[in-house]
């Protein structure tokens, strides 16, 4: 699967909406390609108390629920279609799910792909 198709998968789950007076969801969509070739998607949930989570976390939770933990490629897309690099929390979270996830390819901007290791330049110090 190429990044155009993965981008479309992430974009397809976007559905920005108000859940309650304290929560919004669906403003960011993410797609993770596992080593089995399956794509897992998720959306962000933003809460006023900061207990929400990112779209990458939601997609990773779906992947873990399905029994997988190795990410080959990933992308996140904002409500307006722009590509978003994963935040630091998501980078570290994905890294910790499988030793080989540091080699996962991440689309960080249109036409710009880097590895998770490149986004965590000091990962080998821990």
Q: pLDDT at position 98, please?
A: 98
Which residue from 59, 61, 28, 30 is spatially nearest to 45, judged by alpha carbons?
28
Mean confidence (pLDDT) of the chain: 96
Q: pLDDT at position 50, please?
A: 86
How many C-beta neighbours within 10 Å does residue 106 have?
Answer: 25
User: Where is 74: in which H helix or E strand?
Assistant: strand 71-78
Separation CA 54–CA 29 (nearest Å): 9
- pTM attached to this predicted model: 0.94
Would you place residue 70 in the very low, low, confident or very high pLDDT band (cuts 50, 70, 90)?
very high
Would you place residue 126 in the very low, low, confident or very high pLDDT band (cuts 50, 70, 90)?
low
Whether the pLDDT of residue 124 is over 90: the answer is no
- Using DSSP's 3-state secondary structure scheme, residue 88 falls into helix
- For the chain, helix (H) and strand (E) counts, in that order, are 4, 7
Least reliable range by pLDDT among 47-51, 55-59, 94-98, 108-112: 47-51
Separation CA 37–CA 71 (nearest Å): 10
pLDDT for 16-45, tens place per residue? 999 999 999 999 999 999 999 999 999 999
Q: Which residues contact 46 (CB under 8 A, 6 or more apart)?
A: 23, 24, 25, 27, 52
Q: What is the mean pLDDT of residues 46-50?
A: 93
All structural domains of the chain with their residue ranges: 3-125
**DSSP alpha helix (H) spans, 13-115:** 55-65, 88-97
pLDDT for 71-98, tens place per residue? 999 999 999 999 999 999 999 999 999 9
The verdict on domain 3-125 having CATH code 3.40.640.10 is no
């Amino acid at each position: 699967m190429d990044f155009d198709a993965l981008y479309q998968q992430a974009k397809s789950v976007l559905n920005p909406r108000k859940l309650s007076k304290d929560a919004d969801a669906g403003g960011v969509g993410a797609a993770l390609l596992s080593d089995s070739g399956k794509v897992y998607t998720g959306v962000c949930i933003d809460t006023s108390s900061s207990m929400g989570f990112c779209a990458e976390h939601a997609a990773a939770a779906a992947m873990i629920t399905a029994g997988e933990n190795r990410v080959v490629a990933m992308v996140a897309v904002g409500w307006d279609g722009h590509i978003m690099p994963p935040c630091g929390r998501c980078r570290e979270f994905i890294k910790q799910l499988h030793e080989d996830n540091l080699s996962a390819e991440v689309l960080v901007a249109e036409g710009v792909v880097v590895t998770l290791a490149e986004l965590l330049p000091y990962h080998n110090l821990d």
